[in-house]
Amino acid sequence: MDHAAGTRRDARVSLSLVVPVFNEAETVGLFVEKVAQVLGSDEQIDLQVIFVNDGSTDDTLERLMALQARDPRLLVIDLSRNFGKEAALTAGIDAACSDVVVPIDVDLQDPPELVLEMLAKWREGYEVVLARRINRDSDTWAKRVSASWFYRMHNRIASPKIPENAGDFRLMDRCVVEALKTMPESCRFMKGLFAWVGFRTAQVEYYRQPRVAGTSKFNGWKLWNFALEGFTSFSTDPLRVWTYIGMTVSLVSVLFAIFIGIKVLVAGVDVPGYASLMVAVSFLGGLQLMGIGVIGEYLGRTYVESKRRPVYFVRQVYEVKD
């Protein structure tokens, strides 16, 4: 038997739930109630719920303070502005000091009941336990198709591969959290970072339910930029492919030039056509602009990383002292 599994089998465990929130005043109360019902009464779990308020403009912070007054297990980190979910998730992971850490969404699409199954896998000796959704009924057709294509393309060109249909919802052992805290990049694609650190991993499957309240803060444009972040953070293939495109276009141009030369020698001088000239110029110009755009994506990320700015700033931490 694995020594780590043996020491975990019957041990009391400290658990931190990391919950990024942005304008979620309608959902935070429902979430705390559900978590207290499912996990709060378990005698083998020392529970902490870390809310990271990512610059909410509604009364999310006020509601969190009211909830904390009734439940001291809540820790509220108020960021100085909206830094985005990846930064808020990083702030929560940095603050967590428990044996195991579980990032989870506040909208209850990620069921707290699944954390108990994750803990059972952790007690078997796994350092990471992924929650893999087996349905996308709550997503639109466009989102389902785009998500499928994203995973296929990312896992074809990038390393390491991201488990398909597994989001941020997962259990991580303390050693995994410490490994993540050593990774300093500013442009953070957390799914990729989670996969990159490795460790012994298991999966549990679940059906994802619709949101209990409120609306998603992700739209098509944000998801597109999120996908670009994933591709450019863990693969240089988008840069390399333009070498092959350039070689192919150059080869076609040389072959076409040979064809024209032979045609002139055999049939005489041919009058060039304006339309074909414009098509060729437009096509090559478009290729060049796309290539420059891909280079620009990588250059922009290099520029951001070179400044070494912090990923987030904390305005205030609210906790109940013993």
**Averaged pLDDT, 105-109:** 86
pLDDT at 79: 92
Domain range summary for the chain, segments of one domain joined by +: 3-235+310-318, 237-307
Supply 100's token pair.
């195991």
Report whether pLDDT(228) > 50: yes
Enumerate the H helices of the chain as residue ranges.
3-8, 28-38, 60-70, 85-95, 113-123, 141-157, 174-181, 190-197, 220-234, 237-267, 274-307
Percent of the chain with pLDDT over 90: 6
Q: Of 110-114, 129-133, 179-183, 188-192, give the lowest mean pLDDT range.
A: 188-192
Confidence label for 17 from pLDDT (cuts 50, 70 and 90): very high
Report whether pLDDT(111) > 70: yes
Cβ count within 10 A of residue 102: 25
pLDDT at 147: 65
Report whether pLDDT(9) > 80: no
**Listed residue (186, 149, 214, 190) closest to 308, CA to CA:** 186
**Listed residue (134, 135, 148) closest to 205, CA to CA:** 134
Report whether pLDDT(268) > 80: no
Confidence label for 245 from pLDDT (cuts 50, 70 and 90): confident
**Averaged pLDDT, 27-33:** 88
Q: What is the mean pLDDT of the chain?
A: 77
> Strand pairing partners for 204?
131
Q: What is the pLDDT of residues 45-82, one digit of tens each?
A: 888 899 999 888 888 898 898 898 888 889 999 999 88
**Averaged pLDDT, 88-111:** 89
- What is the SS3 string spanning 232-252? HHHCCHHHHHHHHHHHHHHHH
**Residue 195 burial (CB < 10 Å; 0-12/13-18/19+)?**
buried
Written out in words, the top-level CATH class of the domain with range 3-235+310-318 is: alpha beta
**Averaged pLDDT, 231-252:** 68
What one-character-per-residue DSSP string does 159-184 give?
A: SSPPPTTEEEEEEEEHHHHHHHHT--
- Between 171 and 246, residue with greater pLDDT: 171
pLDDT at 1: 42
Report whether pLDDT(118) > 60: yes
- C-beta separation of 161 from 155 below 8 A: yes
Q: Of 64-73, 124-133, 221-230, give the lowest mean pLDDT range.
A: 221-230
Report whether pLDDT(267) > 70: no
**Listed residue (61, 109, 135) closest to 315, CA to CA:** 61
Beta-sheet pairing, 100-103 with 45-53: unpaired
**Averaged pLDDT, 236-253:** 70
- C-beta separation of 170 from 103 below 8 A: yes
Q: Per this entry, what is the length of the chain?
A: 322
Supply 131's token pair.
């929650």
**Averaged pLDDT, 129-157:** 68
> Cα–Cα distance between 173 and 176 in angstroms, integer?
5
